[in-house]
């Protein structure tokens, strides 16, 4: 088994020098955050060479996208970044809506943005919390998990599901917000603000944490751009790119928020950038929740948005639309579109090629993880084995997003 692995990956084709050891981290390993493998060549405790092997959770979403209708593909996007599901849903739906050139009511956009930002907080809690756990600081994660649970409960009330939310529909939301939505979100913000401060002080005042993260696994801004980094990992390297500012979608040009920027792209800076992003997200949510408009939760377009079920049984028009939408799907006009949104890990792009059929001719997902994770061998070369765990953890690799 060991020999076979050695032959399989290129770094074993050359004979291992005396005293070197080949370690398989993964495919399923407590510190690999999903099913992916790292083959690491060690000299003592120092990493000489590394190689990443992915593809263990590949589910052919792009192929399925060529068969499913536009609304059906939404459930596939749920399973990409399963830590912040609504962000994927919203990215896909925005791309389809842009192709159909439909405008949704303000309320829909507001709710989508609130849920986006709460998901970003959720994702960053996981990333930073688990980084702490990997380095031996367990309590930080526990403190924040209570608040993450609160966000999950809001999502559950809003969509009926916790993990696979399937939140949006083309033309609006799956269902209207529930009456206490505003109050619940305000409670979350109120609880999260001090908790984030506490969490950060737990980490940065910890000598062990600082020693193990400062200057570890760093990347220069130039390399980060060359590798196609995006999101917090790119900003930690000192590049202030954020699609919410550079190419605003939804109402991101109308809210106030700052973009945190790090310096050397190390584990510490990635962590701190995420910390600050959580605060900025809460700032956005606060601005939005105070001005939440009232009105319908979908655009008035019966040929695109599924009609109310109670009307389907009584009215002929609604019955026809219902039948057409279920059987034939939405016909998106011929054309191509690339829609990039700022997901928790970085630029999540949906590239759709439509030939005017009920399902796209080609769907491509630009996953942020896929682009920055390929630099992993370069980041860990020369560091210690324990640092590889910290590096990978702080990059926030989500296997579902990596393989798609």
Binding footprint of another protein on the chain (CB under 8 A): 8, 10, 54-55, 58, 60, 62-64, 67, 98, 223, 225-229, 239, 241, 243, 245-247, 333-338, 340, 347, 349, 351, 353, 355, 361-362, 364, 366, 370-371, 374-375, 403
Query: Given the complex with another protein, which of 45 and 246 has the nearer CB atom?
Result: 246
Six-digit token string for 326: 């279920």
∠331-335-336 over CA atoms, to 5°?
Answer: 115
Query: Given the complex with another protein, which of 111 and 239 has the nearer CB atom?
Result: 239
Query: Given the complex with another protein, which of 77 and 375 has the nearer CB atom?
Result: 375
Could you tell me the smallest distance in angstroms from the CB atom of residue 103 to another protein? Answer: 16
Q: Give the integer Cα–Cα distance in Å for 371 and 375.
A: 8
Six-digit token string for 228: 């196609």
Residue of 341, 353, 399 lying closest to 373 (CA atoms): 399
Query: Given the complex with another protein, which of 64 and 385 has the nearer CB atom?
Result: 64
Could you tell me the smallest distance in angstroms from the CB atom of residue 350 to another protein? Answer: 10
Helices (H), 215-357: 221-226, 232-236, 243-246, 267-290, 309-312, 316-328
CB 333 within 8 A of CB 356: yes
Could you tell me the smallest distance in angstroms from the CB atom of residue 153 to another protein? Answer: 36
Query: Given the complex with another protein, which of 172 and 349 has the nearer CB atom?
Result: 349
Count the neighbouring beta carbons within 10 Å of the beta carbon of residue 258. Answer: 13
Query: Given the complex with another protein, which of 42 and 369 has the nearer CB atom?
Result: 369
Could you tell me the smallest distance in angstroms from the CB atom of residue 246 to another protein? Answer: 4
Q: Distance from first CA to last CA of the chain, Å, rounded?
A: 28
Could you tell me the smallest distance in angstroms from the CB atom of residue 165 to another protein? Answer: 26
The dihedral built from the CA positions of residue 142, 148, 152 and 157, taken in this order, carries a sign that is positive
Q: Give the integer Cα–Cα distance in Å for 298 and 62.
A: 27
Could you tell me the smallest distance in angstroms from the CB atom of residue 80 to another protein? Answer: 14
Q: Give the integer Cα–Cα distance in Å for 123 and 19.
A: 40
Residue in the block written with tokens 């028009």: 317
CB 79 within 8 A of CB 92: no
Could you tell me the smallest distance in angstroms from the CB atom of residue 98 to another protein? Answer: 7
Query: Given the complex with another protein, which of 94 and 285 has the nearer CB atom?
Result: 94
């Amino acid at each position: 088994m060991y020999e076979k692995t050695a032959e399989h990956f290129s770094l074993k084709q050359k004979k291992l020098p005396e005293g070197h050891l080949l370690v398989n981290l993964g495919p399923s390993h407590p510190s690999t955050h999903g099913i992916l493998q790292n083959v690491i060549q060690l000299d003592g405790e120092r990493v000489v060479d590394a190689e990443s092997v992915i593809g263990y959770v590949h589910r052919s979403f792009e192929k399925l996208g060529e068969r499913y209708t536009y609304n059906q593909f939404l459930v596939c996007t749920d399973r990409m970044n399963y830590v912040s599901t609504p962000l994927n849903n919203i990215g896909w739906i925005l791309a389809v809506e842009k192709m159909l050139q439909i405008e949704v009511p303000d309320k829909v956009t507001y709710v989508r943005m609130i849920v986006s930002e709460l998901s970003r907080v959720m994702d960053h809690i996981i990333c930073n919390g688990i980084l702490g756990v990997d380095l031996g600081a367990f309590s930080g994660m526990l403190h924040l998990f209570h608040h993450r649970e609160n966000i999950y409960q809001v999502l559950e009330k809003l969509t009926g599901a916790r993990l696979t939310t399937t939140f949006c529909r083309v033309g609006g939301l799956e269902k209207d917000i529930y009456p206490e939505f505003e109050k619940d979100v305000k409670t979350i913000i109120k609880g999260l603000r001090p908790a984030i401060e506490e969490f950060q002080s737990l980490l940065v005042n910890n000598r062990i944490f600082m020693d193990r993260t400062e200057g570890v696994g760093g990347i220069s801004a130039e390399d980060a751009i060359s590798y196609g980094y995006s999101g917090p990992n790119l900003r930690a390297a000192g590049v202030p790119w954020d699609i919410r500012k550079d190419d605003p979608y939804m109402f991101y040009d109308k809210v106030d928020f700052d973009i945190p920027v790090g310096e050397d792209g190390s584990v510490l800076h990635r962590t701190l950038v995420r910390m600050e992003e959580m605060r900025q997200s809460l700032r956005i949510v606060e601005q939005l929740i105070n001005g939440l408009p009232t009105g319908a939760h979908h655009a008035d377009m019966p040929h695109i948005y599924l009609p109310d079920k109670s009307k389907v049984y009584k009215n002929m028009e609604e019955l026809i639309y219902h039948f057409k939408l279920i059987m034939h799907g939405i016909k998106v006009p011929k054309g191509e579109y690339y829609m990039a949104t700022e997901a928790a890990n970085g630029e999540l792009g949906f590239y759709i090629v439509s030939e005017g059929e009920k399902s796209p001719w080609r769907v491509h997902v630009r996953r942020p993880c896929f682009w920055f994770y390929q630099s992993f061998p370069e980041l860990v070369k020369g560091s210690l084995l324990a640092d590889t765990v910290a590096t990978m953890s702080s990059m926030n690799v989500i296997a579902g997003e990596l393989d798609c």
